[in-house]
Amino acid sequence: MSFDVSNPVELSFSEIEKARARIQGFASLTPLLNFPVLDEHVNGRVYVKAENLQRTGSFKFRGAFNRLSLIPQADRAAGVVACSSGNHAQGVAAAAKILGFPAVIVMPEDAPALKIQRTKALGAQVILYDRERENREGIAKQICAERGATFIHPYNDSGVIVGQGTTGLEIAEQCEILGVTPDVLISCTGGGGLTSGIALALEELLPECQIYTAEPARFDDYARSLETGERVANSALSGSVCDAVLTEMPGEKGFSVLRRRGAKGLSVSDDEAMDAVAFAYFELKLVVEPGAAVALASVLSRKIDLAGKTAVLTISGGNVDPAVFERALTQYAAGEKTPA
């Protein structure tokens, strides 16, 4: 997304601490969970940061609430505009509702029905567009120009990133309480807001922890960009069940953080993501959407060897349409795979 991006704050650890103070009492402090069944599976120790249990069902509320809190009083009545296929939409809508702004969300017509419905239920005005024929940035720009509204980028915005970084603060503190020092952190990655936010927090608190991005196989722009050192784009814009983490290319800000931290990339097939959704149902008793299951999938399908290691992974959301969820369970139970 090439929309002009504001830089309301520095991309720094101290801004993550300030963000935490802002979201406290509004965002949930989500649990860091351990499951013996998962530890046995990898022959190591795995902790799951369950952001599907966050308000609105994904981590996106953290960044949205922090970013909206930074809007000057004079600009608040004009409201906010966001483009999103779903989780950022709900995060912005919920934050706007709490803070008392109007919110307009530009969503693709083919966004999951559940996400459209939930965004509307949060009081936002939803404008649907046709991915093939219309330009969402054009629509968003026009609304911003007409109303004087503030555009809220889903990930390439420092206010959003430090908000997502509160997840990393919590992870580090929860690890300390448990008395564990993670060797690796694996996070579901689309534009990179969550993963870079966590990386920024851990740079200060757990500097030895190796960061991994987890992505769908044909949308592994972060993996390839981190390898080459330059931001590269995906060849496709759609065509994966992992809708929550499909972006054109890494966000500039997120990439700069993850490159500096020496992050590495993992990727999984759609089938592996769907199997992880089913594993989470049968074994973890968590509702996870496919795009938010890619980090878990990378562990279950042994894209990384965790034997003897301690890992933290994110489950970043749980807003999954029942039809997709049922398909995941059916495929898994039958042991059948659709072509990858």
List interacting residues with a second copy (CB under 8 A).
28, 31, 33-37, 52-53, 55, 57, 114, 281-288, 318, 322, 325-326, 329-330, 333
d(CA 3, CA 122): 25
- Min separation Cβ 56 and a second copy, Å: 9
Which CB atom, from 44 or from 192, has the smaller least distance to a second copy?
44
Can you spell out the DSSP letters for 180-209?
---SEEEEE-SSSHHHHHHHHHHHHH-TTP
Which CB atom, from 121 or from 340, has the smaller least distance to a second copy?
121
Nearest to 227 by CA among 188, 258, 193: 258
d(CA 9, CA 162): 9
Structure tokens at 2: 């090439």
Which CB atom, from 52 or from 213, has the smaller least distance to a second copy?
52
Nearest to 1 by CA among 252, 211, 178: 252
d(CA 282, CA 220): 28
Q: How many CB atoms lie within 10 A of CB 182?
A: 23
- Min separation Cβ 129 and a second copy, Å: 26
- Min separation Cβ 45 and a second copy, Å: 12
Amino acid letter for position 202: L
d(CA 268, CA 233): 18
- Min separation Cβ 293 and a second copy, Å: 12
Would you tell me the crossing angle of helices 60-69 and 158-178 to the nearest 10 degrees? 130
Which CB atom, from 215 or from 289, has the smaller least distance to a second copy?
289
- Min separation Cβ 58 and a second copy, Å: 9
- Contact between residue 298 and residue 186 where contact means Cβ atoms under 8 Å apart: yes
d(CA 133, CA 121): 27
Residues in a beta bridge with 106: 83, 127
- Min separation Cβ 320 and a second copy, Å: 9
d(CA 61, CA 67): 10
Q: How many CB atoms lie within 10 A of CB 145?
A: 9
- Min separation Cβ 249 and a second copy, Å: 29
Which CB atom, from 1 or from 98, has the smaller least distance to a second copy?
98
Which CB atom, from 91 or from 254, has the smaller least distance to a second copy?
91
- Min separation Cβ 188 and a second copy, Å: 15
Which CB atom, from 90 or from 213, has the smaller least distance to a second copy?
90
Which CB atom, from 137 or from 321, has the smaller least distance to a second copy?
321
